[in-house]
Structure 1
Amino acid sequence: MPRAGLSASAVVDTALAYIDENGLESLTLAAVAARAGVATPSLYKHVASLAELRSLLGVRVLDDVTAQFTADVMGRSKDDAVRALMLSYRGYVRQHPARYAAMPIDALHDPAAAAAGKRLLEVFLAVLRGYGLQGSVAIHAVRCLRAIAHGFTDIEARGGFGLPEGLDETYENLIQMYLTTLHKEI
């Protein structure tokens, strides 16, 4: 019988707290079980494997990111919405680098994460609708935005910007460069 209070969702919560403190690379079922105060075999009543736990983590992070991005862009349009989205993206990665690392890189082609990935994509597309972008032009614009935000935040999270110039200024320059490309599409 499953331990009272333990569920797949509670296991994911425990795993998220664990990776926040120890990083994604150190995640094991034994570590999650120890943190939950149960024996490792008890987790198998809620998650079938470490791979399934990682998949559940990825979906949860996608859902959390989607909720944060949606809240941050709500009521905004055009440049203001794009700036809010890009700042929200960076803010999430800065606050939760290990969680961000748990997000699937190609959620749309991951059967377990596809629905969550589509919801996140819809946030990006909604932000870009203010520019009248549709079809493949909108997809290219989403890819560019994601490449800029992911590339910068991944390098920043790994400590890869060692020069003394301010990172906020660099990121703002990237936002401005991206906005300039959107205005060329209009």
Structure 2
Amino acid sequence: MTSPHLSAEAVIADAADLADASGFDAVTLSAVARRLGVRTPSLYSHIRDLAALRDGITALALGELSDVVAVAIAGRSGKLALRGLADAHRTYSTRSPGRWQSLQRRAGPTAVESGAARRLVTLTDAVLLGYGLSAVDRVHATRLIGSTINGFLTLERVGSFDHSTPAPGASWTVALDALDTLLASWPRTSHDEPPQ
């Protein structure tokens, strides 16, 4: 018998809170069941398995991050939009560290094909349209921006920048200025093949 207050959304939300409190790797079905005061088998009425639970956290995080990004880039273009996009990621990674970790993994199709994932891609694409990039170049640029943001935030999170000066915030600004310069002078491809 399942608890009447449980739903897939409630289980995923609680698992996301656990991820923020204890790290994404701490999310297990038994740990979530304990937090909810139910037996682990009760969760299977709402969540298929651990992979589905973790993908649920990823989809939730994508939706929340999309909301933050949308506000940060609204009415902006070029360098200001790029800065808004990047700062939104940095703010979200600090505020919701476990949810952020859920985005730093190979997710399953449920998360990858979610409306939240498509929305975040669309928002990123909107920032890059401001630089006049073709569809193929926007794919390359999206990968570059994602690598820069995720790499920087991962290193910052584990304390890799704690032992030297200047402060990470100064390097963050320099990195974003460099990205803006690169995007503004992006080498145009000679053909525009559809992305794969």
Paired position in structure 1 for 2:169: 168
Q: Post-superposition shift, 1:164? A: 3.1
- Tell me how many residue pairs correspond in the alignment: 184
1:8-50 CA distances to partner (integer Å, 9 max, x unpaired)?
A: 0000111111111111111111110111111111111111211
Counterpart residue identity of residue 89, structure 1: H
Q: Post-superposition shift, 1:118? A: 2.3
Map of 1:133-148 to 2, 5 A cutoff? 133-148=133-148
Which secondary structure state, in structure 1, belongs to the residue aligned with residue 87 of structure 2?
A: helix
Higher mean Cα deviation, 15-24 or 112-121? 112-121
Q: Using the alignment, how far apart are the partners of 2:133 and 2:56 within structure 1?
A: 33
Asked whether the 8 Å contact 2:14–2:32 carries over to 1, the reply is yes
Asked whether the 8 Å contact 2:19–2:97 carries over to 1, the reply is no
Is 1:40 matched with 2:40?
yes
Q: Using the alignment, how far apart are the partners of 1:160 and 1:104 within structure 2?
A: 17
Which one has a larger percent helix, Structure 1 or Structure 2? 1
Map of 1:1-186 to 2, 5 A cutoff? 1-103=1-103, 105-106=105-106, 110-113=108-111, 114-115=113-114, 116-165=116-165, 166-185=167-186
Higher mean Cα deviation, 154-163 or 98-107? 98-107
Identity %: 33
Q: Using the alignment, how far apart are the partners of 1:106 and 1:182 within structure 2?
A: 27
Q: Post-superposition shift, 1:105? A: 3.8
Report the TM-score, using the length of structure 2 for normalisation. Answer: 0.88
Runs of 5+ unmatched residues, structure 1: none
Runs of 5+ unmatched residues, structure 2: 188-196
Q: Post-superposition shift, 1:76? A: 1.0
